[in-house]
Structure 1
């Protein structure tokens, strides 16, 4: 085998190894790993593509969602999310693709069909779902950091949630995906 051919084979093998290493499954979330909701300097606006405000919350529709480095199937997969319901922030849009920011601050593009409008939140620490919006009320379920909860209304320090048939209240400070994003400009 020629030296030139051997170098090419080694180069291809190295490229394949590093290409495969760039794709990760993102399933573990730990306390302290949660990041800000949207980039600091982001100006709110109404999207020309969806007519909805950007940034805004959404959730992952399926148990496996590929996040790409750009807005088409031609771009490589950067993340494979394995968490239906994971709350994300849509920070940019194209015709069929949405750039999202996940709870850990990673930004990738996903096809709009992979997102749901249902609001969810993710717990940032261990805690309890209480029967009433009061820490002295009985708790009806306990959760670990990273639990995905269906989100209802938030009032003051508490949010109404549901998880696996348990309906109750969780302290707002224990949730990611609930803080208001800057309001979009009014359309006249």
Structure 2
């Protein structure tokens, strides 16, 4: 079996395993339901709690994260996310809790320990990771909709990404979690 075919099979298998795992308590996270984040709806400001800008991107740290209706354990669980690395937008903060917006546009509160600063993006459809930021370059791997990729720098129409050790470039239009807030360093 060729090396390229093996990498394709590996990445597709990973996307299938994790693509279906992004579950809410009542609904599945599906790429067709992704909501564009509208930064114009909220002016960035610096949080008094973390000293970091809000809104900003983060990712889920663990494979199971409970999203609550308010900022404490006293509030009921609205969603249970089952997907480490899922990109989210932090839209509000309290001392130990962060209100997040997920790719479907749902908003819940999670404890700050459940979030990582690692920048990730989620694919909105099937596509390829290219060796260079050029659709004519060789592809390194293919992905299905819903694959979570570690995000690097974005320049123009392309973003540098990494998935399962494969580093390359993906078209910006194929990723959720990419907008003017993208300024955090990721992979090199």
- Is TM (by shorter chain) over 0.5? yes
Partners of 2:109 and 2:21 in 1: how far apart? 18
Instruction: Check conservation: 1:26, 1:81, Cα contact below 8 A.
Output: no
Query: How far apart are 1:163 and its partner, in Å?
Result: 0.3
Query: How far apart are 1:28 and its partner, in Å?
Result: 3.8
Instruction: Check conservation: 1:97, 1:112, Cα contact below 8 A.
Output: yes
Instruction: Check conservation: 1:149, 1:162, Cα contact below 8 A.
Output: yes
Q: Rg larger in 1 or in 2?
A: 1
SS at match of 2:99: strand
For residues 42-80 of structure 1, the C-alpha deviation after alignment (integer angstroms, 9 at most, x for no partner) is 222110000000000000000000000000000000000
Query: How far apart are 1:179 and its partner, in Å?
Result: 0.9
Partners of 2:6 and 2:168 in 1: how far apart? 64
Query: How far apart are 1:25 and its partner, in Å?
Result: 3.3
Number of matched pairs? 188
Instruction: Check conservation: 1:46, 1:184, Cα contact below 8 A.
Output: no
Instruction: Check if 1:69 corresponds to 2:78.
Output: no
Given the superposition, is the C-alpha separation of residues 157 and 74 from structure 1 closer, same or farther in structure 2, using an over 3 Å criterion? same
Runs of 4+ in structure 1 off by over 2 angstroms are 1-32, 38-41, 181-188
Partners of 2:134 and 2:9 in 1: how far apart? 65
Residue in structure 2 matched with residue 153 of structure 1 by the alignment: 153
Partners of 1:6 and 1:166 in 2: how far apart? 12
Point out where structure 2 has 5 or more consecutive residues left out of the alignment.
Answer: none
Instruction: Check conservation: 1:54, 1:184, Cα contact below 8 A.
Output: no
Given the superposition, is the C-alpha separation of residues 149 and 9 from structure 1 closer, same or farther in structure 2, using an over 3 Å criterion? closer
Given the superposition, is the C-alpha separation of residues 124 and 164 from structure 1 closer, same or farther in structure 2, using an over 3 Å criterion? same
Given the superposition, is the C-alpha separation of residues 163 and 44 from structure 1 closer, same or farther in structure 2, using an over 3 Å criterion? same
Partners of 1:160 and 1:111 in 2: how far apart? 29
Query: How far apart are 1:5 and its partner, in Å?
Result: 66
Query: How far apart are 1:87 and its partner, in Å?
Result: 0.3
Q: TM-score, normalised by structure 2?
A: 0.81
For residues 100-153 of structure 1, the C-alpha deviation after alignment (integer angstroms, 9 at most, x for no partner) is 000000000000000000100000000000111100111111111110000011
Given the superposition, is the C-alpha separation of residues 77 and 161 from structure 1 closer, same or farther in structure 2, using an over 3 Å criterion? same
Point out where structure 1 has 5 or more consecutive residues left out of the alignment.
Answer: none
Query: How far apart are 1:84 and its partner, in Å?
Result: 0.3
